[in-house]
Structure 1
């Protein structure tokens, strides 16, 4: 091919600018054009909740470089020699002519642009529930900076009754950002628990406790029916299948769907997830068209199946891969684990790989462990707690997924497990990782390694655990068993478990008072975090108690309503 390579990129938010910047560094002579239908480019959409909360003062901060330079059209033109066509709609792709028909939304003019290689970074768009009233004034999404500006304007105008439809990542981040004096915030989620696509029920319950603790009303298992407005077409009421709520601001956070119309119209292959199908080089079914970011499906690294998990981190990494491939490097993108992290009020929350629910649905033989502990030495003034749930293959010991939650630094532990899963490590290998230790950063045996050790103990038959959900179900039954609370009297008084089946014997007295326990009944041991409860199991087993299990995660993992003072 003679002359400079002509690269056209459709989409200028996350993937598009990353492709362009990488390609420019590798191909100084290439002709690179980015087509973007909006007016803003290269902005950090993940920072929109921070803008709502006032932690980011202006939207312009979300388009700035770390050095404070605004990533606008002029910046890309001068510093990177990349041409941006903003407020320009890509209407059609003529693959035979290798041409994109574009429409200037400001001038109302149609034109065309030729390409040698084309990149689709068309992103995703919010899912709008098919109910009456979504077009009312005061009904907004949180997807684009303009949405965040409109929400902030509604708050400044006095909006107080705020209803968020959707208990996923965006919905909960919005709730966190909007909590304030005189505001009543309600989250409505049609599934049975929050973050249903990311967390197992017992982890989601801890998130719910945290959200409700900060004054947000949560309604799960409830479907939106309609939105109603006044004579001026402004929203006033949210109608669900169970109730009606007053509302002067409604935020639709029902997820997103891939923007694939342009790809479908020109005949590119669309995958079973509804997103654009690509190969390991991020090429579409056309050898001259790449695609990446929120518009494509990815291969799940555990199951090997196609999945749709739109994340900014994925979009940026894929953008770099495409930039390299445009320059002839043939770089592969292996797939994803769907690693997702968030901060919800005082809790850090994350997941990777498969949840227990997903693993069982896909037919994996599952073993699991739920472990509570500290992120640093207990005597360090900055220590905090956290919970890790590890899901592994019962036969190979390989980790299938993990979830973390708590006020402590649990995301660090999640990232270690991400690495382990992606490299195919098993539980025994994780338990022997040479992780860094000093009192400010970890306990001598790190929380993540404790999770691996607990799972090893269970698989070796040293102890049998019971999860929080099963424990609550047993509490609600009439079954006769013993709950052995081995906490100190002070701990048990601070967070009491009110049940007639509770017997309190501190661990340090258990060997002397073991005759007070009936050998003929099932015994469930518990403590604050689970460590002493496991120790109690080993003591009881040594005394020939056969039906003994411990509460995994301890009292820390139980719903807040069960362990609060009356």
Structure 2
């Protein structure tokens, strides 16, 4: 067996196949110098969370995964700095070129695996050839970027692209010594991952930390000084003085070899494979960032390049080569990251995507604590559920917060995988103890919020919807039902609000005008829900509560301040 690509999927195929077949002859072809490294750890190396670049190549036992390791431990032959330049499907061989000597030769195969990964997208910008302009796709890039920062040669860096790698890179570089600007052509950060109402939570945190965010600002050019070092990023609506630029606008599947071999390229631009990860040619498999997948919710083609997917696909490929008919299932596209002390993630469809696909969508936005308030270590979790309005079938979910969000997202991915409903979440028997959850877990609280909304028990309004009403000059009456000390600590930003603590509402509700829209607010959305239920029973015709409470509303402070100034 010959495997082309030695980073994620390729080594996994080799390791799994060796366990299934002791006698198989396995060769990995890798164009670079390094194999089987943790590319997802590159931003953490830049940010000093990973001390040495070699740590990304080590096993849990501390052994370096180099060609000798694979030879000794796995009986796998690895040819580094060797490029596969052509596939002859008729004669079942691969033409190789030694990148150090230029020598070419052919290598026969019974089975061939394409694990060629993805290549970074580098936009064709004037000045892109300037010095100190990097991507963060290979360990060599990370070493150069960290060296510039450590040697204090850079006091300002600009990241182009607010996708997952761009956000992680901005977090890694930002410090008291190094300022960071982040430029994104779309109107919000993580545009392919998060809906704007969740993205705003991250944007607010980034601005508070000092990141200079330029959203909806396509980059037009890079400028350089007399020594050819980059010194300015020219935007469509401004410019940024800088000394280092990191391009992080995304990746595309590396399919040139597959295309040359006449294999079908799918609608996503990645290699088309069947459920066994076979290409058109039954003797050629493809997996990892070069292969497309099936989206679990829609059944359509998807391209979500993730190391977790690559490793799972590697196992499936090895099973099939060894004669075990194994299928790779559709993916939910679960993606997570940690940046600026926030845990962030998504599974399934976002609200905007679901609506574009024609689903009748209902969402809920709720905030709670990941552990009991009296336990010393606890923090907030915001959960957005996206589901079909009539049936309650879960379509997707997004999470953000300093608390333990990813545990909840994994549960939601499981519900999604088994095509469950939001009501299925409410009945889950989740683990409870003060260090791990509240008595009613924040996830179950999110599901209950959705079901209450679905049943029409009381109306809600999201922070984004309220902001839009403020911008349009709509008339409504806000009632803050938090305690006086809470209000003093975090006053409500924006329109005028009437302050009536929930404990006083039963005696003072007559102070609230019945005409028009009444919106109750609190810190997390729980007390304001109670207030809205009470006012509804007191014959208030149009009463709503703010989903997510102040914890999400305050993330809109930047937009609110702009509005107030205007």
TM-score, normalised by the number of residues in structure 1? 0.97
Q: Distance in 1 between matches of 2:39 and 2:74?
A: 22
- Is structure 2 residue 87 aligned with structure 1 residue 88? no
Q: Distance in 2 between matches of 1:151 and 1:507?
A: 53
Task: Please point out which of 260, 263, 277 is paired with 2:258.
Answer: 263
- 1:395-414 alignment, distance < 5 Å: 395-414=390-409
Task: Please point out which of 442, 456, 473 is paired with 1:447.
Answer: 442
Deviation at 1:153, TM superposition (A): 2.0
Aligned-partner SS, 2:95: strand
Deviation at 1:498, TM superposition (A): 4.0
Q: Distance in 2 between matches of 1:520 and 1:127?
A: 55
Q: Distance in 2 between matches of 1:23 and 1:394?
A: 46
**Match of 1:287?**
282
- Is structure 2 residue 69 aligned with structure 1 residue 66? no
Q: Distance in 2 between matches of 1:280 and 1:57?
A: 40
Task: Please point out which of 4, 8, 14 is paired with 2:8.
Answer: 14
Q: Is the 8 A contact 2:200 2:556 kept in 1?
A: no
- Is structure 2 residue 535 aligned with structure 1 residue 540? yes
- Is structure 2 residue 46 aligned with structure 1 residue 47? no
- Is structure 2 residue 86 aligned with structure 1 residue 101? no
Aligned-partner SS, 1:558: helix
Deviation at 1:244, TM superposition (A): 1.7
Q: String of CA shifts for 1:307-340, please: whole Å, max 9, x gaps.
A: 1111111111111111111101111011211111
Q: Distance in 2 between matches of 1:81 and 1:123?
A: 23
Q: Is the 8 A contact 2:81 2:100 kept in 1?
A: yes
Task: Please point out which of 161, 173, 176 is paired with 1:178.
Answer: 173
- 1:315-464 alignment, distance < 5 Å: 315-464=310-459
Aligned-partner SS, 1:181: coil
Q: Is the 8 A contact 1:468 1:551 kept in 2?
A: yes
Q: Distance in 1 between matches of 2:393 and 2:116?
A: 36
Q: Which runs of 5+ in 2 are unaligned?
A: none
Aligned length: 560
Q: Is the 8 A contact 2:493 2:554 kept in 1?
A: no
Q: Distance in 1 between matches of 2:250 and 2:417?
A: 27
Q: String of CA shifts for 1:333-381, please: whole Å, max 9, x gaps.
A: 1121111111111111011100101100100011111010000111101
Q: Is the 8 A contact 2:116 2:255 kept in 1?
A: yes
Aligned-partner SS, 1:31: coil
- Is structure 2 residue 66 aligned with structure 1 residue 78? no
Q: 1:500 to 1:232 in 2, by over 3 A?
A: closer
- Is structure 2 residue 229 aligned with structure 1 residue 234? yes
Q: String of CA shifts for 1:527-562, please: whole Å, max 9, x gaps.
A: 000000110111011111120111000010124453
Aligned-partner SS, 1:396: coil
**Match of 1:4?**
none
**Match of 2:245?**
250
- 1:25-174 alignment, distance < 5 Å: 25-155=19-149, 156=151, 158-174=153-169
Q: String of CA shifts for 1:410-446, please: whole Å, max 9, x gaps.
A: 1100000000000111111111000000110000111
Deviation at 1:500, TM superposition (A): 5.0
Q: Which runs of 5+ in 1 are unaligned?
A: 1-6
Q: Is the 8 A contact 1:164 1:252 kept in 2?
A: yes
Q: Distance in 1 between matches of 2:343 and 2:119?
A: 27
Aligned-partner SS, 2:26: strand
Aligned-partner SS, 1:348: strand
Q: Is the 8 A contact 1:166 1:188 kept in 2?
A: yes
Aligned-partner SS, 1:210: helix
- Is structure 2 residue 189 aligned with structure 1 residue 191? no
Q: Is the 8 A contact 2:160 2:248 kept in 1?
A: yes
- Is structure 2 residue 462 aligned with structure 1 residue 503? no
Q: Distance in 2 between matches of 1:158 and 1:500?
A: 46
RMSD: 1.3
Aligned-partner SS, 1:107: coil
Q: Distance in 2 between matches of 1:76 and 1:500?
A: 64
Aligned-partner SS, 1:372: strand
Q: 1:154 to 1:500 in 2, by over 3 A?
A: closer
Q: Is the 8 A contact 1:346 1:407 kept in 2?
A: yes
Q: 1:250 to 1:508 in 2, by over 3 A?
A: same
Q: String of CA shifts for 1:493-527, please: whole Å, max 9, x gaps.
A: 11112445411111111111011111112101110
Q: Distance in 2 between matches of 1:361 and 1:456?
A: 23
Aligned-partner SS, 1:341: strand
Aligned-partner SS, 2:313: helix
Which has the larger displacement, 412-421 or 157-166? 157-166
Deviation at 1:402, TM superposition (A): 0.3
Q: Distance in 1 between matches of 2:268 and 2:406?
A: 28
TM-score, normalised by the number of residues in structure 2? 0.97
Q: Distance in 1 between matches of 2:495 and 2:133?
A: 49
Q: Is the 8 A contact 1:339 1:352 kept in 2?
A: yes
